[in-house]
Amino acid sequence: MKILVPVKRVVDYNVKVRVKSDQSGVELANVKMSMNPFDEIAVEEAIRLKEAGKAEEIIVVSVGPKGATETIRTALAMGGDRGILVEHDGETEPLAVAKILKSIVEAEGPGLVILGKQAIDDDCNQTGQMLAQLLGWPQGTFASKVVVNGNDVDVTREVDGGLETVKLTLPAIVTTDLRLNEPRYASLPNIMKAKKKPIDEKTPADFGVDMTPRLTTLKVEEPAKRSAGIKVASVEELVAKLKEKGVIA
Amino acid sequence: MTALIIVEHDNAALKDATLAVVTAAKAFGEVHALVAGSGCAAVADAAAKIGGVSKVLLADDAAYAHPLAEELANLAISLAGSYDAIIAPATTTGKNFAPRVAAALDVAQISDILEVIDTDTFKRPIYAGNAIATVKSSDAKKVITVRGTAFAKAAATGGSASVEKVAAAAKTGKSSFVGAELSKSDRPELTSAKIIVSGGRGMGSGDNFKLIDAVADKLGAAVGASRAAVDAGFVPNDYQVGQTGKIVAPELYVAVGISGAIQHLAGMKDSKIIVAINKDEEAPIFQVADFGLVADLFEALPALEKAL
């Protein structure tokens, strides 16, 4: 079985993003970019399935600017086999990305597509589910455990009330949550080897997908700030203050 | 215009998240509510009483006993033709099926909205809530998920909508429910609790959460945790408050042994009053706390329990 792992290049999760003064977006110039952390977990899960003999090949795909090649290389250094870059400067809305992925899935025929549950830039949490619908495939979103058994996959999902397990008929889509695994670091020899792994270069036009955004961002603002209150000296003072505010009896 | 909201429930009772969705949906004019479940007539009756809901669609079928995304999406898609907007709560159920509906309708989903400016324009958080985007949709039909804490709850009673049965949609049969490990608790649910007491990595162990439990029981509060505490295995994942956990906005939020990582703040900073108890006076949590107590939590929590 092949596994397709879509990855997104996003602002590194350690960067404190700043809203531009003209409210047109967030500052992206000279900001460290990295692989979306949920996608790293997806790459790791695919590698573990390959190591367990459940998969033969891992194809990493990214839709984004030229710089996304680096993101693909990172995934190849972790253990992916080959990459596909679908180069696009500008917005990459989940619906358009899902349409491109659908074409790639139809061409490559993977048994599983594993991807992050959401990207930490737009926080949409849509691409996996949209791809599943476009393909008519089942989905296991927010996965904390993935067990492949023959023609099925059991996915344990992190849901509001706790955990839930669903059985999906392969081929299927899995989106990753935080506790699925801890992604490995690529070793230096593997980083060197990854430089030789092939990356196909495509454009959205190759798949006949229109990237025109359906949503226009009118403005981006800082959230309302909370100001620090006061320090209390003791538990008794704290209780007295809360009673004063009427939040406890 | 008419919006169809998807009611969140457990086949016995309607979940509070639904009430905030009704409030958001009223901006579209008329609000119809879809109750999909199995043996869920009581939920449909409850939905019919929500103020502002003018019609309830009831799809009572074994296929909907568990909210499988594939089946729930197919049902919503089969009904979507008559509606200008399909609106679901941004819960794990809503997030699971709604994008499938959007993809089938070939529209962009607008996730996790905080405000409806008009029926094309919405505010939503990006970058873990560090920025708020105002977006305008060019799609004729809208598929939206709603952040429950950002909207007032519609009145749960007072309405008298009609209940109309609708047929189940064609089954995909490609997914099935195997089982669930749901946390059982007599305490209120995190997302609807008026008071929440949360513990972080500073708790040191799962066993020490007993100290939190004791305070929560005195206050009638829900118990939450930071991602660090969940990752450390102190408590199950459903305790997690934060960008990737639950978004909460109670009257009172007590953060104990929580440093205040951005991702945690994103999940609780809309709380009315925030209390922080931490021995590190430099902890970022104090920058958002109305009342900060620099203290050893192992002394402060028992003292707090006694003082309440």
Q: What is the pLDDT of residues B206-263, one digit of tens each?
A: 999 999 999 999 999 999 999 999 999 999 988 999 977 888 999 999 999 999 998 8
List A residues 132-171 in contact with B (Cβ-Cβ < 8 A): 132-134, 136-142, 144, 154, 157-169
pLDDT band (50, 70, 90) for residue A32: very high
CB crowding A60-76: b at 16 or more within 10 Å, else e: bbbbbbeebbebbbbbb
Angle at A128 between CA A123 and CA A133, to 5 degrees: 130
pLDDT above 90 coverage of chain B, percent: 89
Statement: residue B183 has pLDDT above 80: no
Residues A100 and A228: their CA atoms lie apart, in Å, by 46
CB contact under 8 A, B129 and A223: yes
Query: Residue A93's pLDDT band (boundaries 50, 70, 90)?
Result: very high
Model confidence at A135: pLDDT above 80: yes
| Average pLDDT of the residues in A195-202 | 98
Q: What percent of chain A has pLDDT over 70?
A: 100
Give yes or no for a contact between B222 and B193, defined as CB atoms under 8 angstroms apart.
Answer: yes
**Is the Cβ pair A215, B307 closer than 8 Å?**
no
Among A118-127, B58-67, B181-190, B223-232, where is mean pLDDT lowest? B181-190
Beta bridge partners of B292: A231, B276
Which of A138, A215, A242 is closest, CB to CB, to B108?
A: A215
Asked if the C-beta of B102 comes within 8 angstroms of chain A's C-beta atoms, the answer is: yes
Other Cβ atoms within 10 Å of A182 Cβ, number: 10
Nearest residue to A58 (alpha-carbon basis) of A120, A112, A129, A125: A112
Q: What is the mean pLDDT of residues A99-107?
A: 98
Query: Rounded mean pLDDT of B111-126?
Result: 97
Q: Is the pLDDT of residue B47 over 90?
A: yes
Do B175 and B231 contact (CB within 8 A), yes or no?
no
For residue B144, give the H/E element and its range: strand B142-146
Band of pLDDT at residue B95, cut at 50, 70 and 90: very high
pLDDT above 80 for B299: yes
Which residues of A fall within a CB distance of 8 Å from B274?
Answer: 226, 229
Q: What is the mean pLDDT of chain B?
A: 95
Mean pLDDT of A32-60: 97
Is B181 in contact with A138 (Cβ distance < 8 A)?
Answer: no
Percent of chain A past pLDDT 90, that is, above it, reads 93
Cβ neighbours for A22, distance < 8 A, ≥ 6 positions apart: none
Chain A window 72-101: which residues touch B at a Cβ cutoff of 8 Å?
93-95, 98
**CA A46, CA A41: separation in Å to the nearest integer?**
9
Asked if A217's CB is within 8 angstroms of B107's CB, the reply is no
Give B 30-89 residues with CB within 8 A of chain A.
66, 68-70, 73
What residues of chain A lie within 8 A of the CB of B70, using their CB?
132, 138-139
Residue A202 pLDDT: 98
Nearest Cα to Cα of residue A64 among A106, A41, A36, A30 = A36
Pairwise pLDDT comparison (B283 vs B186), residue with the higher score? B283
Of the pLDDT bands very low, low, confident and very high (cuts 50, 70, 90), residue B185 is confident
pLDDT of residue B191: 83
**Does the pLDDT value for residue B128 go beyond 90?**
no
- Whole-prediction pTM: 0.94
Question: Among A71, A83, A72, which residue's Cα sits nearest to residue A32?
Answer: A71
- Tens digits of per-residue pLDDT, A1-21? 999 999 999 999 888 899 999
Q: How many residues can be counted in chain A?
A: 249
Is A151 a residue whose pLDDT tops 80? Answer: yes
Yes or no, beta carbons of A229 and B180 under 8 Å apart:
no
Q: Which of residues 184-243 of A touch B (CB under 8 A)?
A: 213-223, 226, 228-236, 238-239, 241-242
- Which residues have a Cβ under 8 Å from the Cβ of B149 and sit 6 or more positions away? B20, B191, B247, B248, B249, B270
Q: Is the bond into A138 cis (omega within 30 degrees of 0)? A: no
Nearest residue on chain B to A175, alpha-carbon basis: B96
Predicted pLDDT of residue B20: 96
- The pLDDT assigned to A131 comes to 98
pLDDT in tens, B133-142: 999 999 999 9
Most confident of B102-111, B179-188, B190-199, B262-271: B102-111
A20 burial type by CB count under 10 A (0-12 exposed, 13-18 middle, 19+ buried):
middle
**B301 to chain A: nearest residue by CA?**
A235
CB pairs below 8 Å between A and B: how many?
A: 252
- Residues B76 and B119: their CA atoms lie apart, in Å, by 20
